[in-house]
Chains A and B, each alone.
Chain A
């Protein structure tokens, strides 16, 4: 039974990294297609569209962060694995889900918003600042999910 607890906790860490990373990969991919379209016609806009493309990449970093904190918490990094009961393991799994799920969804939609914002940069490069705000708004919800995941993981008593 004690081994099931660490399995749940590890599954939580894996889901945080996997789902949030997948969201970022999808988002960066979509924005990258739009960025390539603009650079094909106007290579001088490379720097601006690259920043836009990178915006959906943060969800993957948030997932990685929660994954590290979880692994550290359960002792898989820097020490022996903690002896977790299944209930605690499930609590850690639940704590990892916000960044996993929100990271996946927000990553994709931030990528689409970035792609649309790249269209603004293509036509009006002087509006870069305003264009960047639209995808940045999506980021808010990934940050909220990150906060809850970190607070929950660190708050669980082992």
Chain B
């Protein structure tokens, strides 16, 4: 029997999808000559609110908030979005550990729209009250905190938390009922591993470092990827050609920004089938990812225009749209 509990939400999302930017809209935005014209274009399309300050960061932040406001209005179980919220949660953990260990205050570094907001996270870390954190964060939080206190190695702290974040995403994906979550988690972890391999190859990191940083997943072999990274970027591309990420190998050869774009485009291609589902959580997750991708693309264009980059350089970084 098909479960119809998402019928209302999916129909509402179908209406909202009409307002998503298409590739043609992005072309129109690209055609704007100045940063100010771009900002006017997106506000004319309904981005931001009447009281939102006329600057890119405020408008884009407001749009991020709108995504989750809509989801909460639909009265659905928000735990289905855990896979998507883990990166922000683990970012808060990383930021709190660094702030406490370095005894420096950096305003605006936390995501407030999380299960544990910045203030609460700071309090937990200051009191070393790691037991208050979710199960999948406790061990990593303790290890990262102690390593930063004793070694002052910020990169090691990042590696420990980033790996824990990937493992949490992967675990949540495996436990999810819907394929979209499973596929998204698999792709996220695999792409994170590829990025680690590429950076490690560029900075000549050791095998031990890569094994510590990479999270296991089904579609890639961490062992083979690490060995390829030791041999260089060409070896990584060669290894990827034999996996589901062959397209990434081509992009890697082109440029780092082409690879980043390929990663995001792959996510958008993965969620395309959700346009034709009527009763599952898939279209909602796809909408969240599509909106985040849209906001990221607009941010790239706005910052490119603001800094006077040539159109070709901006266009190289523009992502594919969902609709």
Contacts and interface: CB of A to CB of B under 8 A. Distances in A.
A33 B11 contact: yes
A128 B306 CA distance: 43
Interface residues of A, number: 18
A122 B279 contact: no
Contacts of B18: 42, 122-123
A118 B9 CA distance: 12
Dominant SS at the A interface? helix
B298 interface: no
Contacts of A42: 15, 18
Contacts of A41: 12, 15-16
B15 A38 contact: yes
B279 A37 contact: no
A96 interface: no
B interface residue count range (under 10 / 10 to 19 / 20 to 34 / 35 or more): 10 to 19
Contacts of B278: 34, 112, 115-116, 119
B2 interface: yes
B15 A115 contact: no
Contacts of B4: 30, 33, 112, 115
Q: Ordered nearest first, which 5 A-B pairs have the shortest CB separation?
A: A37-B11, A37-B12, A41-B15, A34-B11, A122-B14
Given A34-B11, A37-B13, A118-B11, 14 more contacts: A33-B7, A36-B8, A37-B7, A37-B9, A37-B14, A37-B15, A38-B14, A40-B12, A115-B4, A115-B11, A119-B11, A119-B14, A123-B14, A123-B18
18 contacts: A33-B4, A33-B8, A34-B7, A34-B278, A35-B11, A36-B8, A37-B11, A37-B12, A37-B13, A37-B14, A38-B11, A38-B15, A40-B15, A41-B15, A112-B2, A112-B4, A115-B279, A119-B14
